[in-house]
Homo-oligomer: A and B are copies of this chain.
């Protein structure tokens, strides 16, 4: 716990876009992860798909990258940002019928990019869902979380 009140509300409980005018510009990065749980048959289709049947993951990757750029439109109190790098990657765990989505964002600016990384992961995961939902109605998106964060006043954070 690094505080005991919400920063996105003023003293009277009114929502604000936090004033970061006086924060220093530092290089910041954030990595988030999430997991998509599928049925074994869906998992197999995605793995085979790479080339012949259609590449689910490359569509999801692009959606995640473009989603990161939309963060300030989606999250009401997020600042507009100029991301200098967005990367979305996947790790397949066929034994667990799971795909891990990993998103990393960077910029030099006055505010962190956790929400951008988390949005990239969420949108990529939702896109996997969309592309597989006709063959698999029980898909779950789970464990969406911050994995690592560098830069800014609070320094480096790494999830245990």
Which residue numbers of A lie inside 8 Å of B, CB to CB?
A: 1-10, 13-21, 23, 27, 34, 39, 41-42, 45, 49-56, 58-59, 61-63, 65-67, 69-70, 72-87, 89, 106-110, 114-115, 118-119, 122-123, 125-127, 129-146, 149, 157, 159
Contacts and interface: CB of A to CB of B under 8 A. Distances in A.
Contacts of A126: 74-75, 115, 118-119, 122
Contact of A122 (B5, B87, B122): B122
Contact of A137 (B7, B19, B83, B157): B157
How often does this chain occur in the complex, in copies?
A: 6
Contacts of A2: 134-135, 137
A118 B122 CA distance: 10
Given A45-B4, A115-B129, A126-B119, A80 B83 contact: yes
A75 B115 contact: no
Nearest to A56: B6
Contact of A123 (B23, B75, B139): B75
A87 B17 contact: yes
A41 B134 CA distance: 40
B4 A135 contact: yes
Nearest to A137: B157
Contacts of A83: 17, 79-80
